[in-house]
Amino acid sequence: MKNKRLIYVDTIRVFAMLLVVLAHSCADDLANRQPTLKWGVVNSIVIVTEIAVPLFFMISGAMVLNSRKTYDLKYLFKHRLVRVVVPFLLWSVVSAYLARAMSGPVDMGDFTNTLLMMYHKPVLIAYWFMYPLIALYLLSPFLKAIADKIDDKMLMYLLILWVIIDIALPTLTTTTPKNIGVYFNSFDLGRVVVSKDIGYFFIGYRISKIDKHTLKLNMNILIAAVLMAINILISFISLKPSLQFLNTIANINTPIIAALVFMLFKRFETSYGKGFARVIELIAPLTYGVYLVHGLSIQVVMKYYVNANFLYVFVLATVLSLLVILILSKIPVVKRLFT
The more confidently predicted of residues 120 and 154 is 154
Nearest CA to 324 among 56, 25, 94? 94
| Phi and psi torsions of 269, nearest 5° | -60, -30
Buried b vs exposed e over 144-153: b needs ≥16 C-beta within 10 Å?
bebbeeeeee
Q: How confident is the model at residue 4 (pLDDT cuts 50, 70, 90)?
A: very low
Q: Output the pTM of the full model.
A: 0.91
Q: What is the mean pLDDT of residues 278-290?
A: 94
Kindly report the three-state secondary structure assignment for every residue of 97-138.
HHHHHCCCCCCHHHHHHHHHCCCCCCCCHHHHHHHHHHHHHH
pLDDT on residue 307: 77
Mind listing the pLDDT tens digit for each residue in 183-214? 787 655 455 555 678 999 999 999 998 877 67
HSE value, Cβ hemisphere, 13 Å, CA-based, for 136 = 25
